[in-house]
Amino acid sequence: MDAFKEEYSIHEWQNILSEFHRIKEHYLDHAGTTLYSEKQIEEAYKDLSQNVYSNPHTSKSTEDLIDQVRSRILDHFNTDSSSYHVIFTSGTTASLKIVAESFDFSGENSQFCYLRDSHTSVLGMRELVGCAKISSIEKCELLSITKSANNHIPKANNSKSLLVFPAQCNFNGFKYPLKIIERFHSKNLPENFHGSEWYICLDAASFVATNYLNLGIYNPDFVCISFYKIFGYPTGLGALLVNKRAEHVLKKRYYGGGTVKIAMSQINFHEKRDSLHERFEDGTISFLSILSLLHGFNTLQRLVPYYKNGMKTMERISKHTFNLVKYLRNRLAALKHYSGKNVVILYADTDYSSNKLQGGIVNFNVLHSDGSFVGFAEFSYMATIFNITIRTGCFCNPGACQRHLELSNKLVKEQFQAGHICGDTNDLINGIPTGSIRASVGYMTGLANVNALINMIEKCYCRESRIVDINCITEVYKTLPRAKSKNIKIKMICIYPIKSCGAYKIYDEWTVTSYGLQYDRDWMIVTEKGVALTQKINTMMCLIKPHIDKILQKNDSFLSRNGKY
């Protein structure tokens, strides 16, 4: 098993840790959102507290600063304003929606094609695109395009088609080869893609969080990103990068404040602005959040300097995160029950041998010693006890989830009919998992965080041998009354009506509902502001003992501590 390879120096680690004092848990959900540094927020606050920024529609100076941010974004991706426009949006989802609403699918051969293993936000584009032909493409088919050659280059025509795929799968971190883009632009494609001019929309949200997207080499027509994935702050801000090659295929209909040269009220007349981002940024953009991006870029370059070994900051972060997940994957794969069976089943599309193909994610499920699945909801609760933050479910990627869990369309619908919906805790239906567990790392994740997850699985789920030689049992033990009984009786059951509080003991019969034991974890205590209290916030909650009044058949739970109500 390969040992973990450290990318950062001791001095660099000291600098990183000095800006994340508040993090007391083992945070392993960086694919959900990464964490912001404390100095990053301090610098943003200092900027806002010492300056006055007006609405960019009012202040030319604010508008100029925003343009500087646009330039910084393009520089981060090794391109500039001569090649790409930057349209600010609320995030990747909003960027994808703009493309779906605005792309000109004119021509009889136009089609919308998306990778099956795509985020739900890509699937939603099907409802908006203005073309009759909508199709999906499997992972293996998309990859085969990079390997096959077609000497027949079809003639150009007026039909325009759109392919959408992720730079990195948010389910398991598989990186798609970006040379796919050049294949589609060069028209060196299989025959089923002939008859149209192809444009590429790259969902880069997962990829850019810990990898270097070099738009100087690869030239997708549209790139969709969310900045909280990269910096942790601000949230609710993203961008659509539009290649100038493709700006003419975006036909905007709606217009909001600031996007027109003229608009008249009494007659239906308006003319949109010339600049692409001015036409698409309806109303006042989130200018204070946009200005705070500069502190995000500065933070990355300060904590992970780009000069080491000639690698850029994001290239170093990619290497660091890959080294972590490679170590994690290998350790998980090595875990065994006493029977020799695997403790973990991995859902991967690579062998974790290269960060060119694999990003900072490990996706898996845990198995009992008999081979049955541990529910991801149970695992999530256990992780919380061990102070680990980790993501479970299908991660808004139903295609990848279905493929790796080997769920047929029929079975997925049956699970839905049985009550399972996206984001719930129905983790096992008839013993079959409805989702999985995803561990993802960021630039500030350390080996201790990854080891905490491994140790938790070893402690809670690795089963040692429990086989006892019957000949070793003493004759005295065999004569005990309980040894003669073949029937096992339950003397008591404990339920926890109020989350994080003490148990309510049941000595008699009890109702079992479709959600489990009646009243189990039905209530929680909240503050005046509606924030749920847990033992993480107040450890004294374990002293609260609920009492359920069964005689009156009420759904009332009374709190007691030290025998007092």
Cβ atoms of residues 533 and 525 within 8 Å: yes
The catalytically annotated residue of 396, 422, 472, 542 is 396
| 481 contacts: CB under 8 Å, gap ≥ 6 | none
Q: What is the structure's pLDDT at 471? A: 61
Nearest to 185 by CA among 225, 157, 219: 219
Residue with tokens 């959600």, as numbered in its chain: 515
Q: What is the structure's pLDDT at 151? A: 56
Token pair, residue 85, equals: 């426009």
Cβ atoms of residues 228 and 237 within 8 Å: yes
306-355: per-residue pLDDT in tens? 865 688 999 999 999 999 999 999 999 999 999 899 999 999 999 999 99
Nearest to 168 by CA among 2, 12, 358: 358
Nearest to 7 by CA among 266, 305, 277, 236: 305
Residue with tokens 């300060």, as numbered in its chain: 302
Q: What is the structure's pLDDT at 553? A: 45
Question: Which domains are assigned to the chain?
Answer: 25-30+312-462 (3.90.1150.10), 38-251+284-301 (3.40.640.10), 492-564 (no CATH)
pTM of the shown model = 0.84
Neighbouring C-alpha atoms within 13 Å toward the C-beta of 12: 22
Q: What is the structure's pLDDT at 514? A: 72
Q: Report the 10 Å Cβ neighbour count for 268.
A: 7
Neighbouring C-alpha atoms within 13 Å toward the C-beta of 171: 28
Segments of the chain with pLDDT less than 50: 551-553, 563-565
| 62 contacts: CB under 8 Å, gap ≥ 6 | 53, 54, 55, 56, 287
Count of positions (residues) in the chain: 565
> Catalytic residue at 396?
yes
Q: What is the structure's pLDDT at 392? A: 97
Give the span between the Cα atoms of 89 and 83, in whole angstroms: 19
Residue with tokens 């489990």, as numbered in its chain: 516
Single-letter amino acid code for the residue at 63:
E
| 6 contacts: CB under 8 Å, gap ≥ 6 | 323
Phi, psi dihedral angles at 298 (to 5 degrees): -60, -40
Nearest to 136 by CA among 156, 97, 160, 162: 162
Q: What is the structure's pLDDT at 474? A: 60
Single-letter amino acid code for the residue at 280:
F
Neighbouring C-alpha atoms within 13 Å toward the C-beta of 548: 21
Q: What is the structure's pLDDT at 468? A: 55
Phi, psi dihedral angles at 376 (to 5 degrees): -65, -25
Q: What is the structure's pLDDT at 479? A: 60
| 187 contacts: CB under 8 Å, gap ≥ 6 | 153, 154, 194, 198
Cβ atoms of residues 305 and 18 within 8 Å: no
Neighbouring C-alpha atoms within 13 Å toward the C-beta of 268: 1
Give the span between the Cα atoms of 122 and 303, in whole angstroms: 34
